[in-house]
Homo-oligomer: A and B are copies of this chain.
Amino acid sequence: MSVSETKAGAVKNLQDLADLAGVSRATASRALNDNPRISQATRDKIQALARDHGYAINRRARDFRLQRTGVIAVVFMLDIESKQHMSDLFFLDMLGGIADSLAERDYDLLLARAPVLDVRDLNNSRMLNQSDGAIFIGQGEQHEQLNNLARQRSSLVVWGEPVPGKQYVLVGSNNEVGGYQAATHLVAKGRRKIAFFGSTGNPENAARFAGYQRALAEHGLEFDPALKFDIPFDMEAAQSAIPELLQSSPDFDAVMCVTDVMAMATLSALQHRGTRVPEDIAVVGYDDISLAAYSSPPLTTVRQHIREAGAVLVDSVLGLINGNPVKDTLLDTELIVRRSSDTKS
């Protein structure tokens, strides 16, 4: 028993802990890291001491010493022309999935500071220089810039659509099949004039559109270019564009939207002009964001397995960091039928 057992000396760093245990800093460090070179007895004793005194290794110092940052940057690529927002709910759901996976692996998440207009600006930015790796969500219209980045930096993973000539590791879901599933479902429900809402300026949407066209062709329906509408991502713009379009456009009996958020804006606009959904016009979205089940009516949509996607993105970027070979991943999509396309749901 020492003279005074008061917790006079708070254990604030490794040196304090080593002093307390009567060993060197080196030994204390190894013991805490369970290095087998240290005797089991010593390890136990030091670990117990750390626990009792509420000491935990200072991770920033550790990372600094190990020349890693412990940080993964997450960059949301926004479609410039269409003013897509970070508040797109799909992005936010995705962010949650990534955050959880990173936390499990003991990495921090650094959020992109601002909408990135040009990836080149990132090259010397703090964001990329001071993270161990980066996850880009969406390719936007910057495929080439991403390729350049990938050539210079090793640990970079992109969520999106595999485009020819890409030089980065890609994780995505099968957009062509997703588009095909949505359109095929509408055809099966007896719809014949199926509109397509959304810009196809980025690879993901272009693939969804290709799937839509394939579905029409396979079912003997002719694609009518007048039924393809370039709706902006931006909710505000979409909200004003959609009613206008509904007024002047040829008739259709179904709409396939390129995101759920756009589909919800469409529902609102349709119902406001007295159109019944799904009786008059069926509506299908894309993503299956968490709110899709709770719109009125609940939204039929193509589910992207977002949480799983987050986990795969994290696994992939950490694989690259650790120098492992990492392959592309394409996740399956899944049609979720709800009342917006099916009175019986």
Query: If the complex has contacts A86-B96, A264-B295, are A1 and B131 also in contact, measured as CB distance less than 8 A?
Result: yes
Interface residue from B54, B100, B110, B268 paired with A294 (Cβ < 8 Å): B268
Taken together as a complex, chains A and B put the C-alpha atoms of A60 and B156 apart, in Å, by: 20
On A, residues with C-beta under 8 Å from B are 1-4, 54, 56, 58-61, 63-64, 69, 71, 85-87, 89, 92-93, 96, 99-100, 103, 108-111, 113-114, 124, 126, 128-134, 152-156, 235, 239, 261, 264-265, 267-268, 271-272, 290-291, 293-298, 339
Q: Determine which of B89, B130, B261, B296 lies in contact with A271 in the assembled complex, contact meaning CB atoms within 8 Å.
A: B296
CB of B268 within 8 A of CB of A130, answer no
Which of B60, B129, B268 is close to A295, meaning CB atoms less than 8 Å apart?
A: B268
Please give the distance in Å from A42's CB to the nearest CB on chain B: 23
**Chain B residues with CB under 8 A of A114:** 100, 103
Q: Which B-chain residue is minimally distant from A235 (CB atoms)?
A: B294
> Closest 8 A-B residue pairs measured CB to CB?
A103-B113, A268-B296, A92-B92, A271-B296, A1-B153, A54-B124, A265-B294, A99-B111
Jot down 29 A-B pairs with beta carbons below 8 A, ordered by A: A1-B132, A1-B134, A1-B153, A3-B129, A3-B153, A54-B124, A56-B124, A58-B129, A60-B60, A60-B63, A61-B64, A64-B64, A87-B92, A87-B93, A87-B96, A99-B111, A103-B111, A103-B113, A109-B110, A109-B111, A239-B294, A261-B291, A261-B294, A268-B294, A268-B295, A268-B296, A272-B339, A295-B296, A296-B296
**Measured CA separation A83–B99 after assembly (Å):** 19
Chain B residues with CB below 8 A from A298, complex form:
268
Is the pair A1, B133 in contact by a Cβ cutoff of 8 Å?
Answer: yes
